[in-house]
Chains A and B, each alone.
Chain A
Amino acid sequence: MNSTLLVNIFRFILLLAIQIIIFNNMNFLGYISPFPYILFIILYPVNGNKSGLVAASFLLGIIMDLFSNSGGTHATACLVLAYFRPSIFKFAFGLSYEYQTIKLNDVLTPQRFSFILLSVVIHHFTLFLLEAFQLSYILDTLITTLLSTVFTIIICIIIIYLIKPNKR
């Protein structure tokens, strides 16, 4: 239990640092930037404390807002993702997901991929919708969501493969 907590704190700080120092400066084609820091929410233990996850996601988002001058958009997007995570699990892995031992940072299966895809889409759509904050920009929002989602997912999968514990 204690080691999971430590791993999560370590992940929280490391992902934030990487996001702020490297990925925030990455503007592919001028406006597409990846947000792999949400891997913290995606990789959070399945049976972990739900309130803990909601609070941690809020903190994660607020720190991102602090660094990118974006008001509260990251915080809101992270909160929404954290709150709907159980439902996404249910959708991707079936009803009895809580009784299975799901490990996300493992070989990519269709279930895992659909879980990551849904999480990233929900987060990015909320984020860009709030960032534009005007319905007349809805088309731009959808395009940026689509492109950034692809970018984020590629980087997320690369990171998952890089930090995958090789015990076999």
Chain B
Amino acid sequence: MQQIFNFIFKNSNRILFLLLLGISLSLTIQSHSFHRSKIISSANFLSGGVYEKVNNLNEYLNLKTQNDALALENAKLKSLLFNSEDTTSARKLDSLKGVKVEDLIVSKVIHNSYNVYENYLTLNSGELQGVKTDMGVVNSLGIIGIIENTSPKYATVISILNKRTQINAKIKKSNHFGSLNWNGKSTGFVQLTDLPRLALIKIGDTIVTGGQSVIFPENINIGTIAKIYRDTQTNFYTLDVKLFNDMTNLGHVYIIKSKDRDEITNLEKREKDE
């Protein structure tokens, strides 16, 4: 017994180190291996609060670009309004096609990362505003990511610039679909993989979200084809997609509440159980 205590006292520093190393390594491995189960995330009152304060300051520096973006969006909305075929029966639309205003939560990016392999954003709205895990996040230009963690006032978003994101996407004109990934190289480009060779594509074609995703509505803009790679072993294309969004400069975003989502997932679950 005496010897055990002596050993512990003598090596207290090493034991403390190994203990803490175990904790931090398990946190690291856990954050890399499981989807949506991060213990340490920036959706909490401390980091959320600090980021909100910092963002308030930073906003003044970005006022010009944000104003320009809003003015552009405004012009687009105006053109939609003036050119709509029948103004009396027009559905109430926000800036997104096919999504009603009441299904959108307007939010603001208070922290944005884009320089590592697994990037996350922090938004300043949370459970109190009705934000839940697995909702889609978009802005007027295109998709941004999917809600991962939420706290009462803040939420973290797994960005499309993240090695772990996989989003169903398709060619706008032909309905051939593939899955959207990121290879961690450039913030302006994502990769569309598993696109069948049958698809007729050329550089410059538009890529939009596909109908198979329950997170995003169909036909939300993603980007244009910038480069085509042909895989010699399989019958699939891999494409470089140039994003419409500048992921390094994000301001206001919309969170999409999908009403059909629960219904679809329940249905699919029932199918599997049977």
Q: Chain A interface (Cβ within 8 Å of chain B)?
A: 20-21, 24, 27, 30-33, 50-51, 54-55, 58, 61-62, 65-73, 75-76, 79-80, 82-83, 130-133, 137, 140
Q: Which residues of A contact B115 (CB under 8 A)?
A: 27, 30-33
Chain B residues within an 8 Å CB radius of A55: 16, 20
Hey, which chain A residues are within 8 Å of B16, CB to CB? 51, 54-55
Distance between Cα atoms of A55 and B20 in the complex (Å): 8
Chain B window 6-29, contacts with chain A (Cβ cutoff 8 Å), 1 for yes, 0 for no: 000000110011001101111110
Q: A66-B46, A137-B117 are in contact. Are A75 and B27 (CB under 8 A)?
A: yes
10 residue pairs from A and B, CB less than 8 Å apart: A20-B50, A27-B114, A27-B248, A55-B20, A66-B40, A66-B44, A67-B50, A67-B111, A79-B20, A83-B21
Which residue, of A51, A67, A69, A71, has the highest number of chain B Cβ atoms within 10 A? A69
CB contacts (< 8 Å) of B248 on chain A: these are 27, 30
Stretch of B30-38, B64-72, B95-103, B208-216 at the chain-chain interface = B30-38
- B152 close to chain A: CB less than 8 A: no
CB-CB nearest in chain A for B112 = A25
Taking CB atoms, residues of chain B closer than 8 Å to A68 are 42, 113
Q: Which residues of the partner chain B approach A137 to less than 8 Å between Cβ atoms?
A: 117, 184
A94 to B129, CA, bound (A): 60
Contacts of A30 in B (CB 8 A): 114-115, 186-187, 248
Q: Are B28 and A73 in contact (CB under 8 A)?
A: yes
Query: Interface residues of B, CB < 8 Å — how many?
Result: 39
B186 contacts across to A, CB distance below 8 A: 30
Q: Contact between A54 and B20 (Cβ–Cβ < 8 Å)?
A: yes
CB–CB B42/A76 < 8 A: no
Chain B nearest CB from A131 CB (Å) reads 6
Contact among A33, A51, A80, A131 for B117, CB-based, below 8 A:
A131
Q: For A50, what are the chain B residues with a Cβ–Cβ distance below 8 Å?
A: 13
Q: How far is the CA of A145 from the CA of B38 in the complex (A)?
A: 25
Measured CB to CB, the residues of B under 8 A from A are 12-13, 16-17, 20-21, 23-28, 30-32, 38, 40-42, 44, 46-47, 50-51, 54, 111, 113-118, 120, 122, 156, 184, 186-187, 248
Residues of B within 8 A of A72 (CB): 23-28, 30-31, 40
CB pair B25 A76 closer than 8 Å: yes
Q: In the bound complex, how far is the Cα of B36 from the Cα of A111, in angstroms? A: 46
Bound together, the chains give a CA A50 to CA B31 distance in angstroms of 29
Tell whether, in the assembled complex, residue B27 and residue A67 are in contact, meaning their CB atoms are under 8 Å apart.
Answer: no
Q: Is the CB of A130 within 8 A of B28?
A: yes
Contact with B17, one of A20, A27, A83, A140 (Cβ below 8 angstroms): A83
How far, in whole Å, are A30 and B184 apart by their CA atoms in the complex?
12
A51-B13, A71-B30, A137-B117 as given contacts; A66 in contact with B42, CB under 8 Å: yes
A140 to B23, CA, bound (A): 27
Return chain B residues, CB-CB under 8 Å to A33. 115
- Contacting residues, chain B, for A32 (C-beta < 8 A): 115
Beta-carbon contact of A61 and B187 below 8 Å = no
CB-based contact B42/A61 at 8 Å: no
B31 touches A71 (CB 8 A): yes
List the A residue with the shortest CB-CB distance to B33: A133
